């Protein structure tokens, strides 16, 4: 079904004007407005053909009206594309009733049941407008109901010429049946689409609440420790006059806590940006060796304290085409994880080489590794429980998720090879500068 919709362009038309800056409820209203406009265009074309075949009174006037309405509904789609959503909705709720008024006043009267559509259009504003726009909801609702009451109780049957199809009572009845079935179909389709998107909104709310809880958990646990450590050492430094060796130890601990807090905050902010789709990508040609050295310098103290040795083999001339902030964050996270999950006095290897249109960066360690379940969760973008490093270092569980999303946003690829107690090898393919 999705393939069929994509092939005939329906999905494209339904999503005209929908962008990442809109909240989910507004996006649903825009899609529903597009859906009603599309149904209106198809319906007016259909009735224009049927009226011509059946010999409806004043058929050429009706065809002109149908043509005008089709053009207006097409313009409404254009307004949504240009993000003029309120104008599009107000114009839509008035435009869809225009052909009914002319059909009922000029051509059919209350024959054929076309005035039943007023009941359908009386419900349309409830799914098109928000509660804050209740004036338009009530105005359109009562206006369409008044039209329905008028034609139901005060309308007169249409006068049809002898020899035309519409002169036959059974053809008139077929038009009435068609009107009833079309009304039911339109209501069912709009409500089904609305329910589908209501379900999406509920899922989005659950996801947002889960993200909020995770953020509070990270702030409460993963930042509390490093900040508490910094507070303790700052108190020690301000209240005593430490010896040189004690001062160096305290400053090193402060630096470690600062780095840890910075990485936690950076991962948290990047994760929130990715989840809210507000993480712009700025691609440019960059020197890979420089970014690796910068990340290594930041984490050197963490590696030295654990006795970790770096094994770096990266040509100084290698360039990549990527976002500097994102790729630097990815490299820092992977280096930090390699140190965290390596055994004391282990080795973290970093190699890079040209491979076609990509530069392959390989980061490997001989640490505790990852299970197949963890790798699968990471590839599916699902958070997994926080794990501890070989010396009790704690992480947020967000680092690899952030890396995966950031690499995907830049057209990069990441492959993870790992098994418990056998170490981890992560290969990143980054587009080169060509």
132 — pLDDT class (breaks 50, 70, 90): confident
362 — pLDDT class (breaks 50, 70, 90): very high
Say what the pLDDT of residue 350 is: 94
**Given a cut of 50, is residue 249 above it in pLDDT?**
yes
Helix then strand count (H, E) for the chain reads 15, 7
**Given a cut of 80, is residue 190 above it in pLDDT?**
no
**Given a cut of 80, is residue 238 above it in pLDDT?**
no
Short-list 45, 44, 32, 134, CA closest to 89: 32
190 or 76, which is more confident: 76
> What is the widest separation between alpha-carbon atoms in the chain?
113
* Dihedral-angle region of residue 392 (phi above 0 means left; psi in -120 to 50 means alpha; beta otherwise): left
Question: 24-28, 70-74, 167-171: which has the minimum mean pLDDT?
Answer: 24-28
Residue 129 makes CB contacts below 8 A (sequence gap 6+) with 29, 89, 136, 137
Say what the pLDDT of residue 239 is: 74
The two structure tokens encoding residue 40: 């209106």
**Given a cut of 60, is residue 7 above it in pLDDT?**
no
Say what the pLDDT of residue 12 is: 85
142 — pLDDT class (breaks 50, 70, 90): very high
Residue 415 makes CB contacts below 8 A (sequence gap 6+) with 426, 427, 429
The two structure tokens encoding residue 112: 């054929």
Hey, what domains does the chain have and what are their CATH numbers? Answer: 2-203 (no CATH), 282-431 (3.30.565.10)
Task: Write down the mean pLDDT value for the chain.
Answer: 81
- Positive or negative, the CA dihedral 133, 135, 137, 140 is negative
**Given a cut of 80, is residue 207 above it in pLDDT?**
no
**Given a cut of 80, is residue 45 above it in pLDDT?**
yes
Please report, rounded to a whole number, the percentage of residues in the chain having pLDDT higher than 90: 15
Say what the pLDDT of residue 67 is: 93
306 or 279, which is more confident: 306
pLDDT tens column, 318-340 = 889 988 888 888 888 888 888 88
Return the SS3 of 327: helix
pLDDT tens column, 252-300 = 777 767 766 776 676 666 666 665 555 667 788 889 999 999 888 878 8
131 or 400, which is more confident: 131
Q: Do residues 384 and 371 lie in contact, with contact meaning Cβ atoms separated by under 8 Å? A: no
Backbone angles phi, psi at 58, to 5 degrees: 55, 40
Say what the pLDDT of residue 332 is: 85
pLDDT tens column, 365-390 = 988 888 888 788 777 766 665 566 77
- Angle between the 169-217 and 117-128 helix axes, to the nearest 10 degrees? 10
Say what the pLDDT of residue 325 is: 80
User: What is the H or E stretch that residue 329 is in?
Assistant: helix 324-340
Short-list 119, 132, 135, 120, CA closest to 29: 132
pLDDT tens column, 152-164 = 888 888 888 888 8
**Given a cut of 50, is residue 2 above it in pLDDT?**
no
**Given a cut of 80, is residue 21 above it in pLDDT?**
no
**Given a cut of 90, is residue 218 above it in pLDDT?**
no
Compute the distance between CA of residue 325 and CA of residue 331 in angstroms, rounded to an integer: 10
Burial class of residue 394 (count of CB atoms within 10 Å of its CB; 0-12, 13-18, 19+):
middle
- Residue bearing tokens 């630096």: 255
77 — pLDDT class (breaks 50, 70, 90): very high
Say what the pLDDT of residue 386 is: 58
8 — pLDDT class (breaks 50, 70, 90): very low
3-state SS of 67-92 is: HHHHHHHHHHHHHHHCCCHHHHHHHH
């Amino acid at each position: 079904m999705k393939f069929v919709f994509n092939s005939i362009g329906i999905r494209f038309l339904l999503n005209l004007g929908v962008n990442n800056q809109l909240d989910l409820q507004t996006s649903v209203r825009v899609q529903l407005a597009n859906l009603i406009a599309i149904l209106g265009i198809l319906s007016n074309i259909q009735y224009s053909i049927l009226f011509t075949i059946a010999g409806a009174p004043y058929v050429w006037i009706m065809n002109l009206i149908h043509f005008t309405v089709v053009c207006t509904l097409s313009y409404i789609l254009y307004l949504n594309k240009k993000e003029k959503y309120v104008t599009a909705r107000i114009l839509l709720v008035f435009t869809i009733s225009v052909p009914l008024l002319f059909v009922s006043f000029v051509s059919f009267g209350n024959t054929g049941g076309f005035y039943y559509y007023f009941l359908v259009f009386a419900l349309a504003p409830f799914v098109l407008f928000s509660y804050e726009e209740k004036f338009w909801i009530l105005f359109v609702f009562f206006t369409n109901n008044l039209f329905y009451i008028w034609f139901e109780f005060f309308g007169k049957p249409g006068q049809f010429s002898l020899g035309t199809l519409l002169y036959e009572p059974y053809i008139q009845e077929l038009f009435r049946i068609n009107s009833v079935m079309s009304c039911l179909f339109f209501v069912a389709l709009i409500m089904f689409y609305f329910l589908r998107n209501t379900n999406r909104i509920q899922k989005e709310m659950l996801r947002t609440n889960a993200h909020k809880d995770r953020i509070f958990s990270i702030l409460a646990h993963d930042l509390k420790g490093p900040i508490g450590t910094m507070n303790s050492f700052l108190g020690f430094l301000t209240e005593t006059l430490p010896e040189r060796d004690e001062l160096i130890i305290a400053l090193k601990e402060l630096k470690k806590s600062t780095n840890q807090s910075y990485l936690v905050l950076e991962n948290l902010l990047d994760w929130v940006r990715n989840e809210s789709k507000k993480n712009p990508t700025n691609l440019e040609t960059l020197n890979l060796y420089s970014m690796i050295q910068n990340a290594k310098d930041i984490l050197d103290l963490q590696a030295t304290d654990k006795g970790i040795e770096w094994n770096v083999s990266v040509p100084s001339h290698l360039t990549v085409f990527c976002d500097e902030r994102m790729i630097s964050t990815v490299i820092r996270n992977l280096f930090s994880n390699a140190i965290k999950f390596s055994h004391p006095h282990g080795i973290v290897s970093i190699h890079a080489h040209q491979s076609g249109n990509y530069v392959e960066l390989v980061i490997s360690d001989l640490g505790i590794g990852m299970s197949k379940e963890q790798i699968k969760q990471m590839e599916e973008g699902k958070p997994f429980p926080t794990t501890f490093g070989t010396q009790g270092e704690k992480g947020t569980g967000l680092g690899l998720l952030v890396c995966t999303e950031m690499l995907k946003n830049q057209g990069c690829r990441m492959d993870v090879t790992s098994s418990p107690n056998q170490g981890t090898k992560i290969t990143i393919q980054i587009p080169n500068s060509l």
